[in-house]
Amino acid sequence: MNRKKSLGDARLVENFLDMMSAERGASINTLAAYRRDLLDFHGFLAGCGAEAKHATRDHIKRYLASLSTSGAAGSSQARRLSALRQFFGFLYAEGICPDDPTNAVDAPKRGRTLPKVLSREDMDSLTKAAGQRAEKSEEGARLLCVVEMLYASGLRVSELATLPLAAVRNLEGVLLVKGKGGKERLAPLNAHARKAISDYLAVRETFLPKSGRRRHAEKFLFPSRSAECHLTRRRLHQMLKALALEAGLDPSKLSPHVLRHAFATHLVEGGADLRSVQTMLGHADIATTQIYTHVAKDRLAATVASAHPLARRKGTKVQGN
């Protein structure tokens, strides 16, 4: 495909993203994901000598097949197809495409994958290690604040990284969080998290840049000298993996999202109703929240299998009522 066609497809992608931002309030992270997926598809089309406005169902099916061959998970293939459905729906509505080539294309099957979850004992080890760090340095106080907030509130990493300083002023046990699509929700803060925030605020000045970006960085709870002027998602991942080693945990088991999963799973295990957990997590569909009931049941079954005296007897099954 020639350069003129490539530029045309790139322009269509940007027009689509402008619409998603202006009309549907898509977040920066969502737009970035759409851009990556759509440009990857256009790269595939380029290899076929085709362009978006003339794409066919066969192109879509061959693209999905290429993803499968490359080892992409079913969930990744389904996400790419979802992005293509949105994109071609836009092109069809704008009269750019004569039809929608994603129609009648089945989504790849996705197996149920349960999220990684830390046990309560793991969380105790993690907060203890963070607490020891907090006694030694300003960075430690910040890290303890991050851990306590993620576990107490179930925040997404992007929500925590960009949380404004104003969100923790006049703390009354909750945070007002702006989540996906600009939707606001209340997230809980327990006493441990509130104390960690208070201790961190006493040393927060240390992390403000001294350059002209200081004014922009001042609005964030977690300012930094990065180009974004706040802690980045990548940096938060690095901080938690280093902490995992100190806590004697497998670093591959720990990330900001794993703490969000721990928050939700431990609530469900403790008897919280799904509607409340859905609200606190900011899930649009309760079906997304229901995964935590499976996690809790699986963990309970594993506990019974390993700890119940009857379960340890060969050939004996624990009978239900």
Q: Which residues have a catalytic role annotated?
A: 156, 180, 257, 260, 283, 292
Range scoring the smallest mean pLDDT among 153-162, 204-213, 309-318: 309-318
Distance CA 9, CA 183 (A): 31
Question: Comparing C-alpha atoms, which of 156, 128, 162, 159 is closest to residue 144?
Answer: 128
Q: Position of tokens 């306590």?
A: 148
pLDDT of residue 5 exceeding 50: no
Mean per-residue pLDDT of the chain: 84
CATH value of 3-93 in 1.20.950, 3.30.200, 1.10.1740, 1.10.150:
1.10.150
| 3-class SS shares of the chain: helix, strand, coil, % to 5 | 65, 5, 35
Select the more confidently predicted residue: 6 or 120. Answer: 120
Residue 171 pLDDT grade (very low, low, confident, very high; cuts 50, 70, 90): low
25 torsion bin: left (phi>0), alpha (psi -120 to 50), beta (else): left
Length of the chain: 321
Looking at residues 209-216, what average pLDDT do you find? 83
Hey, what amino acid is at 57?
R
pLDDT of residue 255 exceeding 70: yes
Looking at residues 252-272, what average pLDDT do you find? 89
Residue 310 pLDDT grade (very low, low, confident, very high; cuts 50, 70, 90): low
Give one DSSP letter per residue of 58-119, joined into a string.
HHHHHHHHHHHHTT--HHHHHHHHHHHHHHHHHHHHTTSSSS-TTTTPPPPP----PPP---
Is residue 246 within 8 A of residue 238, CB to CB? The reply is no
Domain ranges of the chain: 3-93, 120-305
- Tell me the per-residue pLDDT of 225-248, one tens digit each, with 9 for 90 and over: 888 999 999 999 999 999 999 999
User: What's residue 211's pLDDT?
Assistant: 74
Residue 304 pLDDT grade (very low, low, confident, very high; cuts 50, 70, 90): very low
User: What's residue 275's pLDDT?
Assistant: 87
pLDDT of residue 253 exceeding 90: no
Distance CA 197, CA 304 (A): 38
Domain 120-305 has CATH 1.20.120.1200: no
- Tell me the per-residue pLDDT of 95-150, one tens digit each, with 9 for 90 and over: 999 999 998 887 766 555 556 778 899 999 999 999 999 999 999 999 999 999 99
Distance CA 28, CA 200 (A): 28
Looking at residues 32-48, what average pLDDT do you find? 92
Looking at residues 254-278, what average pLDDT do you find? 88
pLDDT of residue 316 exceeding 60: no
Distance CA 254, CA 244 (A): 7
| Helical packing angle, 191-201 and 120-134, nearest 10° | 20
Cβ neighbour number for residue 173 with a 10 Å cutoff: 12
Question: Comparing C-alpha atoms, which of 158, 138, 146 is closest to residue 233?
Answer: 158
Q: In a 3-state reduction of DSSP, which class is residue 176?
A: strand
- Tell me the per-residue pLDDT of 66-97, one tens digit each, with 9 for 90 and over: 988 887 877 788 889 989 999 999 999 999 99
User: Considering all CA atoms of the chain, what is the largest pairwise distance in Å, rounded to the nearest integer?
Assistant: 72
User: What's residue 4's pLDDT?
Assistant: 39
Sign of the CA dihedral running 21, 27, 29, 34: negative
Residue 320 pLDDT grade (very low, low, confident, very high; cuts 50, 70, 90): very low
Cβ neighbour number for residue 92 with a 10 Å cutoff: 16
